[in-house]
Amino acid sequence: MIENKIIDGKKIASKIKQEIKTETVDLKSNLKITPGLAFILVGNNPSSEIYVNSKSKTCDEVGFFSVTEKLPDNVTKEEIIQLIDSFNKNEKIHGILVQLPLPVHINELEIIEAIDYKKDVDGFHPENIGRLILGDKCFLPCTPYGITELLKRSNIETRGKNTVIIGRSNIVGKPMSNILIQKQFNCTVSVCHSLTKNIEDYTLNADLIIVAIGKPNYLKSEMIKKDCVIIDVGINRIEDAMSKRGYKIVGDVDFNDCFEKCGKITPVPGGVGPMTIAMLIKNTLESAKGNIY
């Protein structure tokens, strides 16, 4: 019973990566195309370094070509844009990813807009976000895209379901809400955030709750309806004297508290996180195949 309740993102992501690996072999032998992904890492944010390393390792695993350019913290906007431009023109590169956040002196939107939207495998470019809202073909941002795959591959019915998204970020909350109201999913969506009054009024009515607010163990059992589905996007480091590292990773959902009452739930780690990387790789494959643009 317990296994059925847990949505195993690690396992689903692993299956998707295996599918991509097989398709990549075909693409290489039939069309002589190797999917290529360029990473740009600015400054020395330790989390960003870990994320980019992990993404680049996944490229190796599935047979992609990848390149990582590291730029110093004091780099200028013009220098970053010049590098992006060279990747825009490079035919071997099908996807460009600038790891966020950028140092405070750099305007993130200006940088994202410099990426050719046809290579914007993160799905952050205004052209892709606009198409997403219109329901047109586009690159979907990887975390929301990963959540849709978790729902589909776990056979979770979304049609007409009351869905509450907690968090309104450009990376998760905003795109997620727009994806789930599309005809493909047919959810009724409420977006809650830090200034929402009486958040329980929404969550107690929700069949599906997606939490992305960056507050450790925020969602508690008294806030949820019995048998609801919970998707936890949070990745929070909290002190843990029992752990060798001195910390542990927890989500935005109090997993142990909600487990009994909910219908299905994603764990942290091993839920949404691995899916984000899998969908980045998927977007890059589709870009290389010319399936999006």
Q: From the candidates 120, 122, 207, 232, which is the catalytic residue?
A: 122
Which parts of 153-192 interact with ligand GUN (CB under 6 A)?
171
Buried b (16+ CB within 10 A) or exposed e, 50-63: ebbeebbebbeebb
Using the rule CB under 6 A, give the single segment among 20-28, 97-105, 156-164, 176-184 that binds ligand GUN: 97-105
User: Binding to ligand GUN by residue 97, rule CB under 6 A?
Assistant: yes
CA distance from start to end of the chain: 43
Using the rule CB under 6 A, give the single segment among 67-75, 84-92, 98-106, 144-152 that binds ligand GUN: 98-106
The rounded distance, in Å, linking the Cα atoms of 99 and 49 is: 9
The rounded distance, in Å, linking the Cα atoms of 211 and 185 is: 18
User: Binding to ligand GUN by residue 99, rule CB under 6 A?
Assistant: yes
Sign of CA dihedral 44, 214, 122, 133: negative
Annotation says 244 is catalytic: no
User: Binding to ligand GUN by residue 122, rule CB under 6 A?
Assistant: yes
Q: DSSP secondary-structure letter at 253?
A: B
Annotation says 55 is catalytic: yes
User: In the complex, what is the shortest distance from the CB of residue 111 to ligand GUN, in angstroms, rounded to a whole number?
Assistant: 10
The verdict on whether omega for the bond into residue 274 sits within 30 degrees of 0, i.e. cis, is no
User: Binding to ligand GUN by residue 142, rule CB under 6 A?
Assistant: yes
Strand partners, 85: none
CB of 262 closer than 8 Å to CB of 228? yes
The residue (of 16 and 228) whose beta carbon lies closer to ligand GUN is 16
Using the rule CB under 6 A, give the single segment among 94-102, 173-181, 220-228, 229-237 that binds ligand GUN: 94-102
Q: From the candidates 99, 119, 120, 174, which is the catalytic residue?
A: 99
Give 31's Cβ-side CA count (13 Å radius).
11
The residue (of 80 and 258) whose beta carbon lies closer to ligand GUN is 80
What 3-7 contacts at long range (C-beta under 8 Å, 24+ apart), as own/partner pairs, is 4/264, 5/259, 5/262, 5/263, 5/264, 5/265, 6/264, 6/265, 6/266, 6/267, 7/150, 7/154, 7/231, 7/264, 7/265, 7/266, 7/267, 7/271
From candidates 67, 71, 81, 100, binder to ligand GUN by CB under 6 A: 100
Q: Total binding residues for ligand GUN by CB under 6 A?
A: 8
Annotation says 82 is catalytic: no
Strand partners, 253: 219
User: In the complex, what is the shortest distance from the CB of residue 281 to ligand GUN, in angstroms, rounded to a whole number?
Assistant: 12
User: Binding to ligand GUN by residue 6, rule CB under 6 A?
Assistant: no
From candidates 98, 165, 176, 265, binder to ligand GUN by CB under 6 A: 98
Q: From the candidates 8, 17, 55, 252, which is the catalytic residue?
A: 55
Which parts of 238-277 interact with ligand GUN (CB under 6 A)?
276
CB of 274 closer than 8 Å to CB of 9? yes
Please give the residue ranges that form the binding site for ligand GUN (CB under 6 A): 97-100, 122, 142, 171, 276
Active site residues: 55, 99, 122
